[in-house]
């Protein structure tokens, strides 16, 4: 009996693995601070509901930090190279004002340990190339973490202050 059950399970595993590779779309960003020190990663996965960002931070100063996708995939300290917020829809900044920029996301609350693991769904962007809201457009895109929190209303950047970490989405 046991043999038969194992055989069936193996058959299911094979059929799943042969179906999934074509549909799985993922990307990654390695976050560095202004001194070039590694402060974490973001793993991005395309889902039918948008792009899931799995953030894993370490050595980040405690407190509320703005977390955005910026419009240029270039991270040269002090990270102004990453441009403004990713905004293919030409919206004003801020989740309290309207739809906001596609790159606008909720603030991160970093605990005293400086370590944070969190998953955030961004329904306004896609990893699919060729779409206007694709994170893989001509200039690329970058993840940026700011020194301050996003007030969710001040245009164009939520009054979030300096850019303390940056990672190119690739
Ligand atoms: Zn914005």
**pLDDT of res. 12:** 47
Could you give phi then psi for residue 59, rounded to 5 degrees? 65, 30
Distance from Cα 150 to the centre of ligand 1, integer Å: 9
Distance from Cα 38 to the centre of ligand 1, integer Å: 25
Distance from Cα 145 to the centre of ligand 1, integer Å: 12
The neighbourhood of ligand 1, an ion, using CB within 5 A, equals 85, 93, 101, 104
Distance from Cα 103 to the centre of ligand 1, integer Å: 6
Rounded to 5 degrees, what angle do the CA atoms 96, 55, 79 make? 75
Alpha helix positions (H), 20-75: none
For the chain, strand residue ranges (E) read: 26-33, 38-47, 50-57, 63-65, 67-70, 108-110, 116-122, 142-146, 163-168
pLDDT averaged over every residue in the chain:
90
Q: Under CATH, what is the fold of the domain 24-168?
A: Immunoglobulin-like (2.60.40)
What are the tens digits of pLDDT across the range 118-131?
A: 999 999 999 999 99
Buried b or exposed e, range 49-67, using 16+ CB within 10 angstroms: ebbebebebeebeeeebbb
What are the tens digits of pLDDT across the range 6-16?
A: 545 444 444 44
Written as six digits, the tokens of 140 are: 């690329």
What are the tens digits of pLDDT across the range 88-110?
A: 999 999 999 999 999 999 999 99
CA dist 151 and 28 (Å) reads 27
**pLDDT of res. 21:** 43
pLDDT at 47 over 90: yes
User: pTM value?
Assistant: 0.85
């Amino acid at each position: 009996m046991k043999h038969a059950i194992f055989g069936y399970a193996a058959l299911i595993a094979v059929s799943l693995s042969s179906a999934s590779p074509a549909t799985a779309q993922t990307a990654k960003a390695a976050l560095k601070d202004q001194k070039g020190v590694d402060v974490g990663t973001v793993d991005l996965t395309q889902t039918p509901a948008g792009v899931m960002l799995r953030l894993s931070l370490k050595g980040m100063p405690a407190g509320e930090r703005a977390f955005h996708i910026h419009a240029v995939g270039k991270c040269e300290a002090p990270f102004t190279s990453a441009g403004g917020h990713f905004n293919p829809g030409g919206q004003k900044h801020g989740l309290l004002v309207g739809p906001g920029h596609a790159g606008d996301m909720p603030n991160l609350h970093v605990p005293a340990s400086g370590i944070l693991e969190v998953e955030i769904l961004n329904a306004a962007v896609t990893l699919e190339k060729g779409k206007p809201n694709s994170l893989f457009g001509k200039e690329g895109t970058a993840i940026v973490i700011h020194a301050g929190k996003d007030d969710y209303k001040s245009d164009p950047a939520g009054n979030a202050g300096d850019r303390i970490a940056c990672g190119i989405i690739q």
